[in-house]
Amino acid sequence: MPTTRGRCLRLQRVAAICIAGLASHSLHFEGSFAAVNKIPKKVDAGALAQHGEDFCNELKHRGFAIVGFDLTKRRDALDWLESLAGKEDLQLANCGLQPGQARHETVSFPRPLQRLDLIPSDAAIEDTGAAAAVHLARELHNLSVSCLMAVARHENMPELLDLVAETPEPLHAAKEPSFLRANIYAGQDSAGPCWHLDLGLLTVAPAGSWPALMASPFHEAVGETAFLEELLDPDRDVLVFAGTALAVATAGRYTGLVHGVSAGRLKQTGTRVSMPYFLRPRSGAVLHKPVFSDEGLAYLYPAAVQPAGGAAVQPTLNGMLDLLRFHRDLYGRLCTRGQVVPMSVFSKPELQEKVRHGFYL
Ligand SMILES: O=C(O)CCC(=O)C(=O)O
Ligand SMILES: [Fe+2]
């Protein structure tokens, strides 16, 4: 019988190899440079239906897309979130936020950080700052769904839209539902960039209060700067990039953007606030294991999210793995190192063999 610790180590190994698999498509995608120009091509949100192709090309071949979209509440939301810095015992009810709608926590790993998660809603909220942030979440949710529709249309994959909840799920009803996450960074910390992939379908990120979000140098077609927020008009543009779930759902046609936050940039400022919106598969959605030419790689992909109301999905022979656990292992491992693990380490045949035989078979 495998021990818990043994299983844990194997999961970590799988997770680490998985990031190599997920990212290597973009690394070795022939013609990535040719497919996009050095200067990103911006697509207006209103044109996503007609010009979805440009948007999808950027997402696929550059690793992210810039979408023009008027962010009416970004500044108000940022001002409010900045005012929350250092408030560890924040009473959300005092801001007019209900328990299923907002969650606040202070974490120390991988770096000191306050997180405020907000689900999009139309409910009236008295506190103007909180109302601005929830309004922003609503706008970003709608935009993320429009982006997913463009992908579904372009790839002729209408089933992608079935993965998303019709109305946003409350925080306690789904394990990791779609939400806006305000990251409030304290400034001084010694963590590295904490390279990772987001676990959802799409991340839609307005510019934070100070540009520090970086694309991994492994993405060769990123363009002129790895500091992606520097490419944005802060009140009129957002970044859109894919997470693991879209990579799995499209069998690697789209790949996740390996990204992190520059510790150097964080140190240059007092507080930094970012507000990415994560569009994730709904509770109960099942992503099927894609067909791979190399069967070995197939075992490395997480393939399911937690079923509605059920226990966590255990890894099985047909490749089901809890997405959240996968990311926790992956994230933790990479953050400990504080840097991207070289792909070459994971492409060693003996390591792939170990995963094939040691983990699943
Ligand atoms: O702070 C940022 O800009 C990015 C944060 C991030 O990558 C995340 O919360 O997943
Ligand atoms: Fe992220």
Q: Is residue 93 part of a domain?
A: yes
Identify the pLDDT of residue 163.
93
β-bridge mates for residue 277, sequence order: 180, 204
Give the pLDDT confidence of 57-77 residue by residue, as tens digits.
999 888 899 999 999 999 999
Identify the pLDDT of residue 285.
86
Identify the pLDDT of residue 76.
98
CA distance 14 to 180: 29
Pick the atom of ligand 1 nearest to 181's CA.
Answer: 9
Identify the pLDDT of residue 123.
87
Atom 4 of ligand 1: nearest residue by CA position = 213
Identify the pLDDT of residue 352.
54
Interface confidence, given as ipTM, is 0.99
CA distance 23 to 252: 9
Q: Residue range 287-304: average pLDDT? A: 50
* CATH number (domain holding residue 32): 2.60.120.330
* pLDDT at 318 > cutoff 50: no
Q: Pick 274 or 353 by higher pLDDT.
A: 274
Q: Is residue 3 part of a domain?
A: no
Name the pLDDT band for 17 (thresholds 50, 70, 90). very low
Q: Pick 22 or 249 by higher pLDDT.
A: 249
* pLDDT at 335 > cutoff 90: no
Q: Pick 189 or 177 by higher pLDDT.
A: 177
CA distance 226 to 76: 27
Q: Is residue 321 part of a domain?
A: yes
Give the pLDDT confidence of 194-233 residue by residue, as tens digits.
777 788 899 999 999 999 999 876 666 777 788 999 999 9
Identify the pLDDT of residue 336.
37
Identify the pLDDT of residue 312.
39
274 lines ligand 1 (CB under 6 A): yes
Q: Which of 82, 69, 230, 190 is nearest to 141 (CA)?
A: 69
* pTM for this predicted structure: 0.78
Name the pLDDT band for 172 (thresholds 50, 70, 90). confident
Q: Is residue 256 part of a domain?
A: yes
**Which of 2-16, 101-115, 133-147, 290-304 is least confident?**
2-16
Domain containing residue 187: 10-360
Evaluate whether 15 touches 326 at the Cβ level (below 8 Å): yes
Q: Is residue 1 part of a domain?
A: no
- What element of type H or E holds 237? strand 237-242
Identify the pLDDT of residue 188.
73
Identify the pLDDT of residue 350.
58
Give the pLDDT confidence of 237-294 residue by residue, as tens digits.
999 999 878 877 887 788 778 788 888 888 888 899 999 999 999 888 887 665 555 4
* Mean pLDDT for all residues in the chain: 76
198 lines ligand 1 (CB under 6 A): yes
Q: Is residue 2 part of a domain?
A: no
CA of 240 to the centre of ligand 1 (A): 12
Q: Residue range 306-333: average pLDDT? A: 39
CA of 127 to the centre of ligand 2 (A): 28
Identify the pLDDT of residue 256.
79
CA of 204 to the centre of ligand 1 (A): 11
Q: Is residue 170 part of a domain?
A: yes
Q: Is residue 353 part of a domain?
A: yes
β-bridge mates for residue 242, sequence order: 202
What total of structural domains would you count in the chain? 1
Q: Determine the residue of 116, 140, 195, 213 to mutate for testing ligand 1's pocket, defined as the one with the most ligand atoms within 8 A of the Cβ atom.
A: 213
Alpha helices in 58-179 (DSSP H): 74-83, 128-154
181 lines ligand 1 (CB under 6 A): yes
